[in-house]
Structure 1
Amino acid sequence: MSSPSVSPSKGKTREATHWKAAWWDFYPLAERPKRPVEWSNSSVIFTAHPTQSLVTARHFSSSKQFVIPSPAPVLASPTAYEPPTIISVASGDEWLFAYFPGRSGDGIGCIWKRGTQIDNWSVKECWNFTRSGGVVAAKWLNSPRERVTKSSITFGRLLPRGPLTSITNPTLILVTQDHQAHACYFRQYSPTLKIIKCSLLSPTLRLEGQPVPVNGPVAGSGAIRECVDAAVGLGYGESSILVAMHSRRIPPQSAAIPPFDAMDIDVPIALQPTTDSAPSDWDTWGEEQFIDLCEIQFKHYPIALGYDGMQIGLFTNPLPPLPYPGKCLTDLLFVCTPPGPSSPSEMKSPSLQKRSESEKGKIYLAISHLDFEDFASVPKSELNLYSIIRQPPSPASPRSKEISKPSWNYHPHATRSFGPRVLAFAAPTVSNFGEPLLYAGILDTSGPLMIQQTKPKVVQIGEIKVLNISDLTDHENWESSPIMSESSKAGRDLPLRAAVSPNHMFAFTISSSNWPVQTGLHALPRILDKNGGISALSLSISIASAVLARKSTSDLTHLLSLPSFTTEEVADILFHALEILDKNDNGMPHLSTWDMLGISAGIYRSRAQHSKDDSDREVLTARWQTAHDICSLMAGNMAFEDCHEGEGYDVSAAWQLIGISTWIVNFTERLMKQCVLSWDPTGQQGGNGAQISSNATKKMLESPILLTLIHPYAVQNVLTALRHVRQFRSFLGSLPAGGENAHIAKDVLIDLVDRSGVDFTALSNLLEEVVKASKMLDAQECRKALTLCYPTPTIRPHLHKIIQTVSQSSILHKSTLFIKPSDLVDGVSMLLAGAPKKEKDRDVVTKGILAKQNSTVVCLRCNGRSDILREPLSPSRFPSRWRNWENVWKQRCICGGPWTSPAVNKGFFQA
């Protein structure tokens, strides 16, 4: 095992110590199978358990960890299966696949379907794979179209990748050791998994439901060919699927020499000549020095006359093999580049697959390999890139219509050597501007460990670079980022496998050691601006892109929560993101604003948790609470609108609407109290007509909750909420005397509104004028205030006028507003009990009291709890209109955060 090497000391004050890796530290790069790691769009990192047949998962950047439930055969006999070697998650995060090899028998493949929570997965289907036909590669089809920005900072969508299979959901392509392609899919509205198998070594056309012939292992020269690594390529605008396979030749079982039993000393050892293989066959065994290529196409055929269904067919067309000069292949992956973003007219075109060849994206095959030479030094590392080009189809006769297909040619495109360093991993990507790039994790073979008698906890052992696809050189517009390791483990347990976060902010790496597995989180390179600094605009574009694509922003939230960004810089990034979203609102600007409020709440909450200054923590807490309050107002208004019937409201939802009304009234009281506290009647009149207050009052004007009185979008939601409460109160008050339950509900709401200390009618009339005046404010300043989550200095003079009107008018009954009868009763109770009364937990969505059931879920962004996922006890308690509104929030919280079970829920937003 490698160990740090110490150089002779020079003097008493300076000593240099270096770490050094050996060839065996890099040899796991060539071993198969590779340890799987996947980072999903919902920001869940899936890995294999080091020693058990389990799929483990962790949500980034919270501490939420869970285990995916194993299929029944694995649960029945867990020791009969190895840890999963293939893990693949669909881009929509609804489906997951994993393959568990058998220790001495068949392996198991399993498909899971996700529920409403990120940790709620159920087995959908599992099936066996023969021991000689294990899965080596997996790829999901029908991924959502990616979004990139164009010159005007508006978004366009790239072409879809791979064939469009509209009658199946999902569709999974598997490549197995016996060189077979498996198309696994569920037909729409069908619960049964269907599988079509085709050979990847010979032209094959197989239809759905056709029996699969049993083929023996492919052999040649007395050896069996076994696929050990494969890659599946999906080109932009390309209807074909490309498969690249690397194989090895192993001796047939009949020629295998039985193991020697040292205890059986009575049996004489005699070498028996074999006729199955000649001595020269030893030279043919081992890794092959070429790559097999194959084209796969989906076909649809009418099933029967008069039936509008379609029968699926799978066609494979092997291509000429591709030789490569490497001696030890370490990675095989397709790099697919887009032709450019689609225009708005192209987005609506139904004929996206009918583009000319010049309009389609390009496809490259990247092959990385090592040369260990004589195993006396670290290996030489090299990356080869081949361009794969489709040739136009040649005329075919009717009899050979199925077999005669367009051919593909390959050409060497670029080569790069990394010596004396080693390429550990590579990941293709497309930047937010539509530029194809390649992330490359490059490891050093030695480096400094101690300088000037100071031993750091971590040292740099490599870096992540961005490479140009054109020639594999370092991209000059991107900075490189360091790969760090604990100083005690430098040169050992190297990060050899990596997964990239949904928005390309971080790379999660794992080592090759079985126990303990070394994991790491490394920042990915950032694009540079014209001055050589990190481009803040690119972060704004990443946020806007994630919102439009409905991807998790957890990696962006984690980055912007770090101390390396000031609060002002964070607000500026969020401001530009909101500006971009407003230009791409598609007629629904409120949705973009809602999403940005949720993201702002998550960032400011995280910064408050990690702030060491009490005053900063208090301000940041007030900011994220304000953003969350606006989200609650919007959700409450939706509930009233959904439960609205004719001139009134759904009576069966009365108690649910009273819960929301209670929260709205309490919020209004908090807002009015802050207005009273922020008003300074002793101030002097300024030249512009605004009241000039004392420093203390000016600081009170910075209170984040006051943003809801001046921002046009926020104050409009306050006004709408007050109107609903007034109308709902009038509606219940006008109902004839009915049952006891309805009578109690009416009394509760009337007491709630009439004894709040606020004249809701007068306040609503005032807010109507405020809404009109707020629309005259500068739009850019309003965006800035919304992302800062507090009133900016520019809009405070207007805010001061509103506060003055509220404080000096008859809208408020201040004694009732500040002193509640319940406060007096609770005060006496606390004196008698000697302890404060504990506030009851309320549902973050419905604002009702939590039922304290096991169905309670937790939001990973705001930490709010809800029982929104519980099953209805009776139709009368959970009316249909209310239940329809609740169904909107089953997938996410009102702040946009994902739901999870409360079993492990601490340390939020930690790496």
Structure 2
Amino acid sequence: MPLRALEVKNRITDMSFISYPPPKGNQQSTLMLGICTLEMDEYDSTIPIRSTYQLYTVKAPKGPPTSSSALVGPGPRRTFDGALTFVFPVSQNLGNADRLLFAGLVDVSSSTSKTYSRKKEVAIGLTRVLNAADLTDNVEWETTPLWSSSQRNGGIGVPISAGISPNEKQVWTSSFTIWHSYTTLNPLPQRHREVDHPLPDGLAIALAILARKSTSDILHSLSQATPPSDSVVDIITTALTALQKCERVPSVWITGSMMGVALSIYRSMAKHCEDEERRQRYTERWRAAHDMMSMVSCLTAFHEASKADFLKRLLKACVVATTVPNDKPSQGEDDLFGSTPNSPIAREQFDPVLINLIHPFALTALSTVLESIQKFKELVDRNALSGEDLAAGRHVLDDLVVTCPTQIPELLKVLSEAKVEAGELDGG
């Protein structure tokens, strides 16, 4: 569906379509076109640089799509002092009337750098939240600084492109100088805490998990703020409660996901904490979560391994490979193609499972697993077990290892020789 021509007087620096979900399910979403232009004089530096942002509403034509262009109507317009570097729609916590925009504005007068300071970086502007209806500032949201790397020669790179994080917590900006290019991580504005309807960090984590998004930007914001331990517990509890209300989500998956979130939060807090006692407490917590996740991973791997018949398939492939005739000419006189000499007997296709006996990495892993089983069996044999349950466990182990058709000690000897031969093939 074509768009009619739009007349733009100044230089276009950015143009993008913006869409918001409809207030109600049976309504159509609103599609808008945003155009950012830059006003500057190439020869007179005394004239201030200004940016203009214009929104257009885009609607489908009433007739057939091929017969007419889309209906484009002018929307709100605003002129800013400075250079507008990016505009993104705000999608988090939208109400019926909340259609908002993130706008990053570079302050050409350099007054922003006097208000904010950060090591090795200079504040060159602000990121604010605008109301899409009239492009005015939304007072319920914070204003955050826009940073850029400061260079040794005093130069400052101006952002020319930006990318927003999955959960709208940060924005990456790219800036270029004469010799280098740099990327900077900037925080995005959030609702003021005194507002009655903020998006809690716990709920944001739950939404990210349900949407299969990365929670790294949320966790990064939490680690930078270094919240108290009680706040972290509240955040995790809020996320866990929200996830448990979803009946179709498995509880095991919820617990595992939240355990990973807790691990990341406490490990990051331990890294940034300056107090030795609190750092030790955070370290103990993330290590406890790490141990739990490790056990879950081992249990999952054990269950998967218990369902497999890898060793049986491997030995079967070895037996089959040794019984296949060599590719020598057939001795019969009834060659189908009348070849001279007779056609060789076709060799069966190589079984991929045999790569485990050729490649040093796979062969070492296989040998290590079998050695671990054998050492565990020897450890059980050396220790006298008491009790019916322990005795029953020993009998089960004997059934699995001792009476197994595959003699593990003999197989380990063969694999040891194969490792030497595989090392020679690998050049070492």
Q: Could you tell me how far 1:360 is from its partner in structure 2?
A: 2.4
Match of 1:430 among 73, 82, 91: 91
Q: Report sequence identity in percent.
A: 32
**CA distance in structure 2 between the aligned counterparts of 1:726 and 1:542, rounded to whole angstroms:** 51
Tell me by how many angstroms 1:381 deviates.
Answer: 1.2
Question: How far apart, in 2, do the equivalents of 1:341 and 1:490 lie?
Answer: 52
1:479 aligns with 2:149: no
In 1, distance between residues paired with 2:67 and 2:393?
68
Q: Give distance in 1, aligned partners of 2:256 and 2:24.
A: 26
- Supply the AA of the counterpart residue of 1:478: W
Q: 1:387 aligned to 2:30?
A: no
Q: How far apart are the structure 1 equivalents of 2:204 and 2:395?
A: 47
| Aligned counterparts of 1:455 and 1:732: Cα–Cα separation in 2 | 62
Aligned to 1:517: 181
1:321 is the counterpart of 2:5: yes
Q: Determine which of 490, 493, 507 is the counterpart of 2:171.
A: 507
Match among 260, 268, 285 for residue 623 of structure 1? 285
2:22 aligned with 1:339:
yes
Structure 2 gaps of 5+ residues are: 313-365, 377-389, 412-421, 423-428
User: Where do 1:534-545 residues align within 5 Å?
Assistant: 535=198, 537-545=199-207
Match of 1:568 in 2: 230
Distance 2:132 2:392 in 1: 62
1:641 aligns to 2:307 (yes or no): no
Residue of structure 1 equivalent to 2:363: none
* Match runs of 1:644-723 below 5 Å: 644=306, 652=311, 656=369
How many positions carry a matched residue from both structures? 337
Shift of 1:442: 1.0
* Structure 1 residues 576 and 659, CA gap change in structure 2 (3 angstroms): farther
Structure-2 separation of matches of 1:433 and 1:618: 40
SS at match of 1:509: strand
- Which secondary structure does the structure 2 equivalent of 1:515 belong to? coil
How far did residue 491 of structure 1 move? 7.8
CA contact (8 A) 2:14 2:35 kept: yes
Q: Render the CA deviation track for 1:267-296: whole Å, top value 9, x for unaligned.
A: xxxxxxxxxxxxxxxxxxxxxxxxxxxx2x
Q: Deviations over 1:314-350 (max 9, x none)?
A: xxxx3321223x32111111111111586xxxxxxxx
The 8 Å contact of residues 449 and 487 in structure 1, kept in 2 or not, is answered as: no
- C-alpha separation in 1, matches of 2:158 and 2:185: 13
Residues 427/732 of structure 1: CA separation in 2 closer, same or farther (3 Å cut): same
Paired residues of 2:15 and 2:36 also in contact (CA < 8 A):
yes
Inter-partner Cα distance in structure 1 for 2:265 and 2:16: 35
Distance in 2 between the 1:417 and 1:726 partners?
A: 83
After superposition, give the CA deviation of every residue in 1:591-630 in whole Å (9 maximum; x if it has no partner).
Answer: 1110110111122122223333333232222211211222
> What CA distance in whole angstroms lies between the structure 2 residues aligned with 1:519 and 1:483?
12
Return the offset for 1:431.
Answer: 1.4
Give the 3 Å change call, closer, same or farther, for CA 447–328 of structure 1 in structure 2. same
Q: Give the drift of 1:729.
A: 5.4
* Cα pair distance change 1:443/1:727, threshold 3 Å: farther
Match of 1:582 among 244, 258, 267: 244
| 1:737 alignment partner, one of 392, 403, 415 | 403
Q: Give the letter aligned to residue 228 of structure 2.
A: T
The one-letter code sitting in structure 2 at the alignment partner of 1:422 is A
| Larger fraction in helix | 2
Instruction: Assess if the C-alpha contact under 8 Å between 2:259 and 2:293 holds in 1.
Output: yes
Distance 1:490 1:484, change over 3 A: farther
Tell me if 1:602 matches 2:285.
no
Distance 2:250 2:20 in 1: 31
Letter aligned with residue 599 of structure 1: V
**Structure 1: how far apart are the matches of 2:113 and 2:102?**
29
Residue 334 of structure 2 is matched in structure 1 by none
Q: For 2:13 and 2:392, locate their aligned partners in 1 and report how far apart those are by CA, in whole Å.
A: 69
1: CA distance between counterparts of 2:242 and 2:222?
18
Does structure 1 retain, via aligned residues, the 8 Å contact 2:87–2:102?
A: yes
- Matched-pair contact (CA < 8 Å) for 2:149–2:157: no
Q: Tell me the TM-score normalized by structure 2.
A: 0.68
2:72 counterpart letter in structure 1:
Y
In the TM superposition, what whole-angstrom CA distance separates every residue of 1:142-200 from its partner, at most 9, and x where no partner exists? xxxxxxxxxxxxxxxxxxxxxxxxxxxxxxxxxxxxxxxxxxxxxxxxxxxxxxxxxxx
Alignment of 1:236-275 (within 5 A): none
What is the deviation of 1:385?
Answer: 0.2
The separation in 2 between residues aligned to 1:455 and 1:634, in whole angstroms, is 41
Listed as ranges, the gaps of 5+ residues in structure 1 are 1-294, 296-317, 343-357, 395-402, 664-724, 746-872, 874-911
Match for 2:132 among 460, 469, 483? 469
Tell me which residue corresponds to 1:364: 32
User: What is the aligned partner in structure 1 of residue 190 from structure 2?
Assistant: 526
Distance 2:90 2:28 in 1: 17
CA distance in 2 between counterparts of 1:501 and 1:461 reads 20
Q: CA deviation at 1:449?
A: 8.7
Change (3 A) 1:510 1:456: closer
Match of 2:103 in 1: 440
Pairs within 5 Å for 1:760-779: none
Residue 584 of structure 1 aligns to a residue whose secondary structure is coil
- 1:340-374 deviations in Å (ceiling 9; x for gaps): 586xxxxxxxxxxxxxxx62211101011122257
- Structure 1 residues 101-131: Cα deviation after superposition (integer angstroms, max 9, x where no partner): xxxxxxxxxxxxxxxxxxxxxxxxxxxxxxx
Displacement after TM superposition at 1:734 (Å): 2.6
Contact 1:431–1:437 under 8 Å retained in 2: no
Judged with a 3 Å threshold, the aligned counterparts in structure 2 of structure 1 residues 591 and 517 are, in CA distance, closer, same or farther, namely: same
What are the residue-to-residue correspondences of 1:28-177 with 2, within 5 Å? Answer: none
Q: Which has the higher contact order (CA 8 A, sep 6+)?
A: 1
Give secondary structure in 2 for the equivalent of 1:322.
coil
* Closer, same or farther: CA 382–555 of 1 in aligned 2, 3 Å: same
- Amino acid paired to 2:13: T
Checking the alignment, whether the CA contact within 8 Å between 1:446 and 1:461 is kept in structure 2 is no
1:413 CA drift (Å): 1.1
Residues 533-574 of structure 1: per-residue CA shift (max 9 Å, x gap): 994x43222211221122222212222222542232222222
CA–CA distance in structure 2, aligned partners of residues 507 and 480 of structure 1: 14
1:552 aligns with 2:214: yes
Flag the 1:560–1:656 CA change in 2: closer, same or farther, 3 A. Answer: farther
Give the deviation of 1:490 after TM superposition: 7.7
Partners of 2:391 and 2:43 lie apart in 1 by: 82
- The C-alpha deviation readout for 1:393-450, integer Å capped at 9, x for no partner, is 35xxxxxxxx74564101111101112x331221224114465432100121213599
- Residues 1:565 and 1:335: Cα distance change in structure 2 (over 3 Å): same
Asked whether the equivalents of residues 393 and 407 of structure 1 are also in contact (C-alpha less than 8 Å), the reply is no
Secondary structure in structure 2 of the residue aligned to 1:599: helix
Q: CA deviation at 1:635?
A: 2.6
Work out the CA distance in 2 between the residues paired with 1:416 and 1:431: 24
Change beyond 3 A, Cα 1:365–1:732:
same
Q: What amino acid sits opposite 1:515 in the alignment? A: W
Distance in 1 of aligned mates of 2:248 and 2:372? 33
Cα distance in 1 for residues equivalent to 2:6 and 2:391? 74
Contact 1:338 1:436 in 2 (8 A): no
Kindly indicate whether the alpha-carbon contact (under 8 Å) linking 2:13 and 2:36 is maintained by their aligned counterparts in 1: yes
Change (3 A) 1:657 1:466: farther
TM-score, length basis structure 1: 0.34
Higher strand share: 1
